Amino acid sequence: MATQVSAGLVKQGKRLLMIFDEETETYALPSEKGDKGELSADTAERAVSQLGCEGEVARYHKQLKIEFLQDGEEFKMQSFTVEIEGEPEKGEWVHVSELSSKNLASPLSEIEEELKNKI
């Protein structure tokens, strides 16, 4: 059975709030594995809250749903637009036109074009 992962798309105009992982030197969306019985939308809100801001899911993006393997484990990732108030304490705003020049974490690199079209 695949592990459920939810990602929070925090947008500001044509910019996305992303996390830079210094260990892997990759950019990713805030995301978390879902806890047993937790709604995917709640998981996305929890992922965004770890950036030092509270948010509320505004929209589910079915077109950005993706299944992938990582270290031999199967995952299913769902993406949700999460609206926040104020500025986050962590993260980096990245313009969609800069995504192709960034080292994107898997599976984000696989849905880059779809992501650009949705922002």
pLDDT tens by residue, the chain, 119 residues: 788 999 999 999 899 999 999 999 999 999 999 999 999 999 999 999 999 999 999 999 998 898 888 888 899 999 999 999 888 999 999 999 999 999 999 888 888 888 888 77
Torsion angles phi and psi, residue 100, rounded to 5 = -70, -20
Question: Which domains occur in the chain, in start order?
Answer: 3-118 (3.90.79.10)
Distance in angstroms (rounded) separating the CA atoms of residues 4 and 26:
21
Cα three-residue angle 12-16-19, rounded to 5 degrees: 135
Tokens of 114: 């779809």
pTM value?
0.86
Predicted local confidence at residue 45, as pLDDT: 95
Q: Where are the beta strands (DSSP E) in 1-119?
A: 3-9, 11-12, 15-21, 26-28, 31-33, 55-70, 73-84, 92-95
Q: Is residue 92 a contact partner of residue 102, using CB atoms and an 8 Å limit?
A: no
Residue of 65, 55, 54, 50 whose CA lies nearest to 5: 65
